[in-house]
Amino acid sequence: MTDRMWSLSEFRFDQAIQAAEVSVFDDETGRFELMPRDRAIALAHAREANLVEWWPQGAVEAPQCVITKVTLPLRWEQLPEEAEPVDERLWFEASCGGRDFLVGNGNTFTGRMMAWCPQKQRSYRVSSSEIEVMPDETRYFVTGFLAGTQPGHPIDDRGDTDEADWAAWLSATRRFRRTGQWNGRWGTCQECGCVLLPDNPADHCAEHSPQAAG
Ligand SMILES: [Zn+2]
């Protein structure tokens, strides 16, 4: 499941913590202690630190908090920029006929991977369906990539999953791991009118595909 990373705008500390009581982690005892939020803030300030809400989800009754230093304006930790390293075992025959390399996630559409072309010295995005000739190393990289990036199953507001949705998700992700395609839009079968699984980019269901008929 690809849980989204949280935004810095969701970081909560001191008075921004929306709760009357908090559960504060005590470094010395290794335990949480329940106390009024304002007392916890005073305790943190007495240690020249701040009260920070620990879990990004929020909206719980007495959120778990830690005492740690916060500096304004808020900013993320910084890492030096660096290019994805190229592993030359992960080659594939590119459309130009040369050997290009898979280097990671394309971060656009589900299933798109980042590739590097050493001839043109540039990166671009590619799907597994566009790759035919590749060694075992690349094949297993793609298999792991697709399994790791498949969308999570549908849930409703209460976190429950409908039985038909669950079965559809199992089918769609199974086919996705084989094809690398995830259409991500609604569609229906032109023949029978069923709602297509979200990986299916065609205009017909598996039962009514021209290949199944022929
Ligand atoms: Zn159909």
Instruction: Report the b/e string of 150-184 with b at 16+ CB within 10 A.
Output: bbeeeeeeeeeeeeeeeebbeebbebbbebbbbbe
8-68 CATH fold: Ubiquitin-like (UB roll) (3.10.20)
Helix ranges restricted to H, 68-196: 136-149, 163-179
Cα of 189 vs centre of ligand 1, distance in Å, is: 5
User: What is the tens place of the pLDDT at every residue in 162-212?
Assistant: 999 999 999 999 999 999 999 999 999 999 999 999 999 999 999 998 875
Cα of 196 vs centre of ligand 1, distance in Å, is: 8
Confidence tier at 84 by pLDDT (50, 70, 90): confident
- Please tell me the distance from the alpha carbon of residue 28 to that of residue 124, in angstroms, as a whole number: 51
Cα of 188 vs centre of ligand 1, distance in Å, is: 8
Cα of 78 vs centre of ligand 1, distance in Å, is: 51
Using a pLDDT cut of 90, give the percent of the chain over it. Answer: 81
Asked if 93 contacts 104 with a C-beta cutoff of 8 angstroms, the reply is no
For 115, 116, 124, 133, the CA distances from 121, given in Å and listed in that order, are 11, 7, 10, 21
Ordered by start, the domain boundaries in the chain are 8-68, 91-149, 172-213
What is the Cα 156 distance to its own chain's centre? 19
Predicted pLDDT of residue 61: 85
User: What is the tens place of the pLDDT at every residue in 28-73?
Assistant: 788 999 999 999 999 999 999 999 999 887 667 899 999 999 999 9
Predicted pLDDT of residue 26: 84
72 or 157: which leads in pLDDT: 72
Cα of 172 vs centre of ligand 1, distance in Å, is: 15
Cα of 155 vs centre of ligand 1, distance in Å, is: 26
Predicted pLDDT of residue 214: 47
User: What is the tens place of the pLDDT at every residue in 9-35?
Assistant: 999 999 999 999 999 998 878 899 999
Cα of 195 vs centre of ligand 1, distance in Å, is: 9
Average pLDDT over residues 146-152: 94
Burial of 99 (C-beta count, 10 Å sphere; 0-12/13-18/19+) = middle
Cα of 162 vs centre of ligand 1, distance in Å, is: 22
- β-pair partners for 92: 100
**φ, ψ for residue 5 (rounded to 5)?**
-70, 150
Predicted pLDDT of residue 1: 38
Closest C-alpha to 55, from 14, 2, 10: 10
